[in-house]
Amino acid sequence: MTDFRHSNAPLEMEVYGYDRVVKSHCRGCHGGCGVLVYVKDGRVEKVTGDPDCPINHGTMCSKGLAAPRIAYHPDRLTHPVRRVGPKASGKWERITWDEALDTVAERILAYKEKHGAESVVMGYGTGRENEAAIYRFANYLGSPNVLTAGHFCYGPRIATTVITCGSNPIADYANNPACIMAWGNNITISNPDEYKGECFSQALNAGAKLIVVDPRLTRPAARADIWLQLRPGTDTALALGMLNVIVEEELYDHEFVANHVHGWEEFKARVAEYPVARTAEITWVPEEKIRAAARLFATTKPGVVQWGVAIEQQVTCADNNRALLALMGITGNIDVPGGQMLFRQPPIRNVSQFGAHKALPPEQAAKRLGGDHFRLAGNFGIINPKYVWDAILTEEPYPVKLLFFISSNPLMTRANAREVHVALEKVEFMAVADFFITPTAELADIVLPAATWLEMDYIGDFWKRHGWLLPRRKVIQVGECRSDHEMLNDLAHRVGQGEHWWDDFEQGLDWILEPSGITFQEFLKTDRLRGDVTYRKHEERGFSTPTGKFELYSTKLEEWGYDPLPQFREPPMGPVSRPDLAADFPYILITGARQPGFFHTENRQVPVLRELHPDPEVEIHPDAAAREGISQGDWVVIESPRGAIRQRAKLSEGLDPRVVSAQHAWWFPEKRDPGHGWDESNVNILIDNDYSNCDPAMGATSVRTLLCRIRPETDADRDRLAGVQS
């Protein structure tokens, strides 16, 4: 039964000193927090957390608090522009929305006619809740190519959980887990996807035991009962070693295994290949810690695994996920209060239905770039980005002529950034929709002004698996900025898709909500909507998998020609796989540690957020720094076989002396040259994107584990890397 929730507080209030206060839903990152937006004289003055919201309970991160500074930033793009002169010229002229969308539509139709719809590639970044509309546009156009972060961010979690247990199991913090295992996830900083650091911290305050798996000493690791500081890239081996202990000592849930698991005997044989001694040798984690963590998690009920994208950005992406799912499953923590819940959405048309995936003709789906190379990814319409760059540069298997990126900055976020740059320079036409002129947008032909969450109506958390939906209420209009959904609805009519869209996108929101029996205007009058919460659903109806069971042995992966059981593979650019390189590049480099204030490439132009991290930093152990002649705060050069970048050294005893950790997605909006320093500190310059460096089923690029060397920067290095004129 659908749960309509109303708080005692009105949805729009009068507060002394302000004209009004509006309840809404933040989208400054993955978080999706309930907020109160304070408005005076037609401008947003401040944003605070909504204490009545069941997701964040009034807490907020720095990104959400800074939302007005982003919306009103003087460099904000507030009208469509067209490039004047060559790419990266930095010269733009203002045009109307009609001119912009007419131009994009004309190009799309021309390329579709001459080269096929597959020559048009749509793309989006992360966390803007536009994915369903973008897939809808591409699928009705007939293009199978949508370029996302889904090959190595959240997409692998959905892909692997669907084939294992039918849906993504979400930690049920509301029912007080007794044990939390945070694996590759710094939740108090990242507040990722369905989760907030607040609920995690409250669970610990209530007495939950904590195991943290992370190469870095994060805040959660410092608070942990057991910290497993593993060698980067060995997550699957560690999980299988823990599973070995649980199976050998019969600490698993016998009833669940006997009645609800597929492939138990084969699974037992696989984990037997990872005795604790071998696991310790692979992972650098002492044997006694592996045993202690396995026993603690298996015997402290209910328990949850709090996982993050760090485990997905490796060549063992799918197997990392599957091994962690096995830990949840055999310990009996699936779909129980305080465990790992398979929540239901309210009755709505979901992301898959809105995305119109069934509308893509089979003959066009067969043209998806990469074909059957990465079958698990292709099953969910996900492609590896290198296929797009290759198709632009080589025109094989066919040419890609047009790119349309929405809320995406791939020059800063995709591996082998120099190859990305060459491809973006060569593609015949590119449109970008964003808040600012980013390094990627500098290479576009047309840039469209995207609306922030303060400037749109929407159904918040439409795509998530925690079961909640919250109203996002438009509070302000800045310039001519438009939401991605409105923009695509308009563009769809111009390319002949009008019958599949709406006169106004609010009608699209009505269509999503129709199964719940309400309109979007009626939804705006509620506080929130939640699906029915029922525990232990598998006891009556099994799991939504081919066998109806929790598949430790994956029948789908077997069908596609992959190992149906999780296995450990050495990182291809690690010291074990490449001892020849390790001699010259002796450190394991991990990338992507999250920082407060930034959301991947975003927010570096906002002073109150940039103050938190004025410069890119690379963490290095004091012993390693002393060996290399590096002091705290020095600018250093980080080199891999692919190239070199510069970041500031931050000495940290929370790393193994053999490991360094560099920040990702760095560019410098304050640099007024067209490139904004895109190649100065961009860690993706160092990372190989060859297909052999990817997960074989999911296509995830290994951006978290590679080899590097590090040294103090010279004046010549600074002039070369930072573009300083002599």
Q: Which residue has the higher pLDDT, 627 or 595?
A: 627
- The whole-number pLDDT of residue 672 equals 83
Q: Which residue has the higher pLDDT, 363 or 197?
A: 363
Given a cut of 70, is residue 342 above it in pLDDT?
yes
Are residues 587 and 613 located together in one domain of the fold?
yes
Tell me what percent of the residues of the chain surpass a pLDDT of 90. 91
Is residue 59 one of the residues assigned to a domain?
no
Do the Cβ atoms of 47 and 36 come closer than 8 Å? yes
**CATH number, domain at 306?**
3.40.228.10
Are residues 693 and 712 located together in one domain of the fold?
yes
Are residues 330 and 398 located together in one domain of the fold?
no
Is residue 40 one of the residues assigned to a domain?
no
Given a cut of 90, is residue 324 above it in pLDDT?
yes
Last residue of a domain, one of 341, 372, 388: 341
Given a cut of 70, is residue 1 above it in pLDDT?
no
Which pairing describes strands 446-449 and 617-620: parallel, antiparallel, or unpaired?
unpaired
Given a cut of 70, is residue 428 above it in pLDDT?
yes
Give the residue numbers spanning the domain of 309.
169-341
The DSSP line for 334-372 is BTSTTSEE-----SS--HHHHTTGGGS-HHHHTT-TTTT
- Whether the CA torsion 452, 453, 458, 462 is positive or negative: it is positive
Is residue 101 one of the residues assigned to a domain?
yes
Given a cut of 80, is residue 481 above it in pLDDT?
yes
Given a cut of 60, is residue 9 above it in pLDDT?
no
- Name the pLDDT band for 726 (thresholds 50, 70, 90): very low
Average pLDDT over residues 654-674: 95
- The whole-number pLDDT of residue 30 equals 82
- The whole-number pLDDT of residue 421 equals 98
**Could you give the CA distance from residue 291 to residue 368 in angstroms, rounded to a whole number?**
45
* Model pLDDT for residues 501-557, shown as the tens digit of each residue: 999 999 999 999 999 999 999 999 998 999 999 999 999 999 999 999 999 999 999
What pTM did the predictor assign?
0.96
Are residues 361 and 445 located together in one domain of the fold?
yes
Are residues 330 and 385 located together in one domain of the fold?
no
Q: Which H helix or E strand runs over 279?
A: helix 276-283
Last residue of a domain, one of 306, 341, 376: 341
Are residues 197 and 304 located together in one domain of the fold?
yes
Peptide bond between residue 571 and the one before it cis (omega within 30 degrees of 0): no
* Model pLDDT for residues 207-256, shown as the tens digit of each residue: 999 999 999 999 999 999 999 999 999 999 999 999 999 999 999 999 99
Are residues 420 and 482 located together in one domain of the fold?
yes
Question: Helices in 455-525 by DSSP H: which ranges?
Answer: 484-494, 505-513, 520-524
Is residue 726 one of the residues assigned to a domain?
no
- For the chain, the average pLDDT equals 95
Are residues 394 and 311 located together in one domain of the fold?
no
Radius of gyration of the chain (CA): 25
* Model pLDDT for residues 385-424, shown as the tens digit of each residue: 999 999 999 999 999 999 999 999 999 999 999 999 999 9
Structure-block tokens of residue 532: 């029915």
**CATH number, domain at 710?**
2.40.40.20
Given a cut of 50, is residue 201 above it in pLDDT?
yes
SS3 519: coil
- The whole-number pLDDT of residue 725 equals 42
Which residues is 619 bridged to in the sheet?
Answer: 650, 661
Chain mean position to CA 448: 23
Are residues 628 and 670 located together in one domain of the fold?
yes
Cβ atoms within 10 Å, residue 102: 14
Structure-block tokens of residue 526: 């509620």
Cβ atoms within 10 Å, residue 464: 22
Given a cut of 70, is residue 2 above it in pLDDT?
no
Question: Helices in 395-544 by DSSP H: which ranges?
Answer: 410-413, 417-426, 484-494, 505-513, 520-524, 538-541
Cβ atoms within 10 Å, residue 136: 25
- The whole-number pLDDT of residue 11 equals 64
Residue 272's contacts (CB-CB under 8 Å, 6 or more residues apart) are 244, 247
Are residues 254 and 239 located together in one domain of the fold?
yes
Structure-block tokens of residue 254: 């016998």
Structure-block tokens of residue 369: 């770039």
Average pLDDT over residues 470-481: 97
**Could you give the CA distance from residue 654 to residue 356 in angstroms, rounded to a whole number?**
47
Residues present in the chain in total: 726
